[in-house]
Amino acid sequence: MSEQAKTPAIPATKQAPAEYFTGGTAWVTMVVEGNPTDCTVGDVTFEPGTRNNWHSHPSGQILVVTAGVGYYQEQGQPARLLRPGDAVSIAPGVVHWHGASATSIFTHYAINPGVSKGVADWGAPVTDEEYQAAQA
């Protein structure tokens, strides 16, 4: 067996697309990519104050928090404070956002099933007023 075959691949961490994030930078490491499972898993870290835009997922999403403190909010509902060990199961088509608190990083696994139907339908940025209300 060659040395290369013995060494596992280390996934590359990339900056998340700035057009979908407000308040700072988020970083994504793709842990599992689509086929043959039709599911992706990303390890996402938000810098303090960073949140993603309002969005939904055609096949839903599961978030599993691994570090820091953050928020999850469905449109029309109060925001939820999230800490390591918390998980959120998001139904298909539910408009929501998630991101870091103002003073902490926030890291979660984003599990996206059924990606052959699309991964995310992106909407407007979360306003400063919406973000501040989440922290109240």
Domains by residue range for the chain, with CATH: 23-135 (2.60.120.10)
- Contact present, 69 and 92 (Cβ < 8 Å): no
Tell me which residue of 127, 126, 133, 129 sits closest to 52, measured CA to CA: 126
Residue 2 has pLDDT above 50, yes or no: no
pLDDT tens digits for range 60-89: 999 999 999 999 999 999 999 999 999 999
pLDDT tens digits for range 19-63: 999 999 999 999 998 778 999 999 999 999 999 999 999 999 999
CA distance 47 to 20: 14
Residue type, 1: M
CA distance 116 to 135: 35
- Contact present, 56 and 94 (Cβ < 8 Å): yes
Q: What is the pLDDT of residue 6?
A: 57
Where does the chain show beta strands of DSSP type E? 13-15, 21-22, 26-32, 39-46, 51-52, 55-56, 61-68, 70-74, 80-82, 87-90, 96-100, 106-113, 121-122
